[in-house]
Every structure is written in C-alpha cells, then in structure tokens.
Amino acid sequence: MAAIEQVRTWVETEIPDAQRLSGAQLRALGRNESWDGWRLPIPSSEAGSLNLLLDAEFPYSLPRFSLDGRSDLLRAPHIEAGGRLCLAGDGGRADTLDPVAVVEYSHREALALIADDQAGGNRDDYLLDFDAYWRRDVTRDFPIRTWLRPEARSRALAAWHGQKFYLVAENTDDCRTWLNNRYGADDTRTFKDAVAIWLDRLPEPDNYPNDAGSLRRLVAERSPDGLRVFDRLMTTMIERATVVLTGATSAGEIAQAPAVIEDPNVERASGKAPKPSVSKGFRPGHVPPNILAIRRSARRATVERVDAWLGRMRAGEGAQLAEKRVAVLGCGSVGAGVAKLLLQSGLGRAVLVDPDTFAWANVGRHELGANSVGKNKAAALADQFRPMYPHAREVRAEPLSWQSLLRREPNALRGCDLVLSLIGDWNAESALNDLQRSGTGELSSPVLYGWVEDQAGAAHALAIGCNGACLRCGFGATGTIGIPATAWRRKGPVACGGPTSIYGAIELAPAQAAVASLAVDLLLGRCATPVRRAWLAPQSELEHGGGSWHPSWVDRFGDPGRGGVLTATPWPEDSECPCPHHPATSPSPTRLGVFAS
C-alpha cells in the first residue's frame, strides 16, 4: 500500500485533472477490487484519456496503461485488445524500490507511443511482430497447428481436420506421423488439401483478408508464384481448406498466418432443393478460380507451430538434426537420458536397442518411472517418447541385444549417422569396436561410447571412427580403462551381477549432457573422430563418497582441482593395440585370452 500511496501523491502533484478510478470504472475495464488506477489526460489531445492501472502486486509488477475514447488508435501498432498499450514484453524488469520512478518512466513511454501512432509512425513494427498482430485480429477462434519447413516458396500441403484443431504439414505422411506419434495410430483418419503461399511482403492489419476474394487479391499482388497454387486449391477443394500465408518479418524470421476457406453452407429442408452452390451458373469443373474465391468465405485463424521449440535453439540446428538417424545401444540410466536430450534437440530418427526389463531399482535414475516396471526398457521408452516428441519421424524400439538385432537384420545399423554405445558392458562394446574396424560394412558410422566411473565421479564420452585410435587402445584386455579419472577407497556393493555403482539422477545429469553434447557436435560435423570428453564431478562429491583424483590422471592431464568441469582429453592410439583389425599390429593371443571377473 505504501507504493500505491507514493504513486497517488505523484499523480495528484504532477498531473492536473487526473481522476482516481472508482470500483465500477475498474470493473468496466476488466479489473477487480484488488486493482487501483487513475484516468489521466492525454496532452495536446482533444479526445480520449489514458488509464493508469496498478495491481495488488505493485511495485513487484509493472504498471499497465490503456486508452479510453480513442477508437482511431485501436488498430495502431502496440495497441492491444481493449486499448491496452504494450510497453514491456513478458519478463520486463523494473526498479522495485522506486515505484514512482517506474510509473513516471512508463507514463512517458505511453505518451510517446501514442504520439508516434497518431503521426502514423511505428508501422514497420507490424512486420517485426507480425504473428501477434495477426493473432489479435483473428475471425476464427480455432487453432491451426503447423509443421512446415522454413521455405520461401508457395506449395501444396496436406491437412487433417479435427474437432479441436487442424494440423497442416508438408504432406500426408508428415500429418500421419505426427498424429500417430501424438495420439496413436488410427487408420480412419483422412486428409485434405492445403497450401502455403509465400508473400513478398506480409500484410499490415488494414490489408488482412476478410473473405476468400480479398485473400486471392492479396496473393495476386504479393506472391508471383502463389496465385497458381491458390487457384488450383480453389478448383480442387471440397467444402473447406486451409491457406497458410508465409513471409519474412523485418527481423528475418518466417511468419505464418493461416486462414480457413469454406464453401457457403448447403442446407436442405424437407422437400426443398439445396441452396445455390459455388458452381451456380457454370458447368461443373469450369468455374473460374476468381469466381470460386468470391463465393467462398475466409476466416483468419490463430497458428500454433508444433515446431515452435526450434525457435529456442541455435539457428538451423534442429532442421539439420531432423534429417539424422541415431541408434542408441543400451537404454539404461545413461542411454535413456541421452536419447531424450537428442529428441528434444530435434533428432529425426532414433532406434532404441536394449534387451533388459525395467526394474524398481532403476526408478531413481531413469527417464522411466514406476508405471514401466516389468516392461522392456527400449519399448517403454519408445512408447513414452513418441507422444512427447511427435516431430520425430521414427522412434523405434528393438527389445534385444545389438548382436541379436544384427543376426536378424544385418543392415540394421547401416543407415545410421551415429551409433551410441551406452551399454556399460565390455564384452558387448569390444565386440562392437571390432565389428566397426572389420570393414565388412555392417557398421561404418562413428560410434560414440559413454560410461561413468564409480559413483558417477567422472563420465566419459568417446567417439571412435573407422580410422585412428580405437576403443581397445585405451583399455586393458578385460575392459579396465588405462587412465581412470578417479580412485576410490571403497566400492559399491558387489553381487553375482557385478558391482553396483551408487549415484542418483542429479549426479548422472552432467554425464548425460556430456554424451548428448558430443553426439550433437558429431552429427553437425563440428568435430572429428577420435575425440574424448570427460566430465569430472565436484571434488567435494568425490570426497563425500570416499574418492579422489587418480594419480595417473593427474600425471597425464593435470590436477582437476575442485572439479565440476568438462574437459577435452586425447585418446591414445596404442601401437600394440590387440584389436584384430587395428592397422598397427596383429592381435596377441596371450592378451586376448585373459578373463577377469
């Protein structure tokens, strides 16, 4: 209340003729009794006033302003529905300790905006934030979801018409894939025609089409390649179709503005003929497209871009990753999280391979939860990921080992851009390494190995290609790493299934991020094999679990100090590597015959 009183004093002192708004006036403006406000005159204006509105959170919220009695400005830039002025976007920050200064500054900004709009300025801002202006002026309160490539050309599309939204995509396959992923397969779905029209210049509100005839005129004026596409739609559509206007904003982004075109209603009364159709007066199939457009309605609609998440990524990354295919061998605590991160980053195709069943012991550090206990890990993850990330054209589960997969389907890995081996089993991973180096063709892509040391004190992401150092170069014959990052005074409990490494989801997260980050860099061509990155946990975590930095690591790569760092460290190429297909040497029977428990 102290802040409100400070503003009241400022208003009464600095703004003559200001009037405090009554409860009834605030309710008429859509505010309740928790709000406060004043009606302020607009200097040098014969009509209208400016409402200053403060909510109960002020000064920890921003002041709002709205216009009264200025219908001429309701469609001006930065004037929203109800005359609200858009002065600061979401997340606008202010000095919460000086409420009067905030109101005073905002008041000056509001008056400057009104003056600019009165003078016809700010019109370029219509193109800067085109989506917002189109959205506020829609005539069809129904969302059009789009999944389109960012292409500067007019073209035919496909659409699915649902009861709650329409989906528009590049083709029927994309429509079907997205819907099947999101809602499950349904063979009864049908698809309709739609088009994208690229405009040389996006329209301003005064030029927004209000029927199909004005939409066609806009296309004819601003789209050299669009009129042919639009007219074809006019002659082939049945009852209803979607047009998505596209064009570049002044910031260089591609905006989308959908409109739904509809035939006149054809109503039948008992014993009466239907009302005239769009082809009245013409032979069927011979109605000129301009006549068809004049006889149809067009209502502007809101757009919901189902790939809007791409706007939160570096330019182009998601589109590039959408064309990539990755096999994830091992869907345990590391592999499940890495697969999720890659799909969130835009990966287009993922094959998840794991023969194991999800158990209660996995719940604390896995993407799956208790509802998946007893299910195959790969299958349960695929079922979970498809509706979460419907943009992925393929999320396939193979509930078996990679060796069994290749016995069944020798070319299963041949089309992959990258294979992630996150199995955590030396026998399986050394076999994968030897297969890659064999040159037989079953596996010619890079392989990214990922593993964590005891208690997740360190995590490694190692990418191996078909040349240079291989996986075996840095390991002993039975899978003991040559230079570990950590040493431990006490180990996790050991049973017949092997030792149990004690760590949770929090300790695991940096390991998942390190592997996924290197995977993205490889897929985008930012680095070449062999390459190894290591995440070193904070030293305090090591000491808490009875660990320390391994002397061999310190001697070779330096003291990590307090840890909590991601490092790039070389992977050695061993001139005596026992890999059967390593170019440096032939295998040593003695070294290959060692067994360790």
pLDDT tens-digit readout, 165-177 = 999 999 999 999 9
Distance in angstroms (rounded) separating the CA atoms of residues 498 and 238? 65
Write out 286-300 in H/E/C secondary structure. Answer: CCCHHHHHHCCEEEE
Q: What is the mean pLDDT of residues 32-60?
A: 89
* DSSP β-ladder status, 140-147 and 297-305: parallel
* DSSP β-ladder status, 447-452 and 458-464: antiparallel
- Domain edges within the chain: 2-122, 130-306, 314-592
Query: How many angstroms separate the Cα of 315 from the Cα of each of 166, 340, 528?
Result: 27, 20, 22
CB-based contact 485:458 (threshold 8 Å): yes
HSE, side-chain direction, 13 A CA sphere, residue 112: 7
Give the model's pLDDT for residue 592.
38
Q: What is the mean pLDDT of residues 131-158?
A: 89
Residue 176: both structure tokens together: 């079907």
Q: In 545-596, where do the E strands start and end?
A: 547-549, 565-568
Phi and psi at residue 193, in whole multiples of 5°? -75, 150
Residue 555: both structure tokens together: 């001697």
- Tell me 581's DSSP state: T
Q: Give the confidence band of 106 by pLDDT, cuts at 50, 70, 90.
A: very high
Return the closest-CA partner of residue 345 out of 184, 519, 507, 509: 519
pLDDT at 584 > cutoff 60: no
- Tell me 79's DSSP state: B
pLDDT at 267 > cutoff 50: no
Q: Which residue carries 């469609």 as its tokens?
A: 75
Q: What is the mean pLDDT of residues 390-408?
A: 97
What does the DSSP assignment read for 312-325?
Answer: GS-TTHHHHHTT-E
Single-letter residue type at 278? V
Q: What is the mean pLDDT of residues 218-228?
A: 96
The sign of the torsion formed by the CA atoms of 585, 586, 591, 595 equals positive
Give the model's pLDDT for residue 593.
38
pLDDT at 492 > cutoff 80: no
pLDDT at 343 > cutoff 90: yes
Question: Given 3.40.50.2000, 3.40.50.720, 3.60.15.10, 3.30.930.10, which CATH number is that of 314-592?
Answer: 3.40.50.720
Residue 144: both structure tokens together: 């059009």
Residue 563: both structure tokens together: 């840890």
Residue 59: both structure tokens together: 């000064």
Distance in angstroms (rounded) separating the CA atoms of residues 405 and 302? 46
Single-letter residue type at 296? R
pLDDT at 594 > cutoff 70: no
What does the DSSP assignment read for 432-456?
Answer: HHHHHHH-SSS--S-EEEEEE-GGG
Distance in angstroms (rounded) separating the CA atoms of residues 527 and 518? 8
CATH of domain 2-122: 3.10.110
Q: Give the confidence band of 125 by pLDDT, cuts at 50, 70, 90.
A: confident
Degrees (nearest 5) of the Cα angle 76, 80, 83? 85
Q: Give the confidence band of 90 by pLDDT, cuts at 50, 70, 90.
A: low
Q: In 162-233, where do the E strands start and end?
A: 166-169, 192-198
Distance in angstroms (rounded) separating the CA atoms of residues 182 and 185? 9
Q: What is the mean pLDDT of residues 119-130?
A: 84
pLDDT at 188 > cutoff 70: yes
Residue 52: both structure tokens together: 């200053």
Degrees (nearest 5) of the Cα angle 217, 219, 223? 140
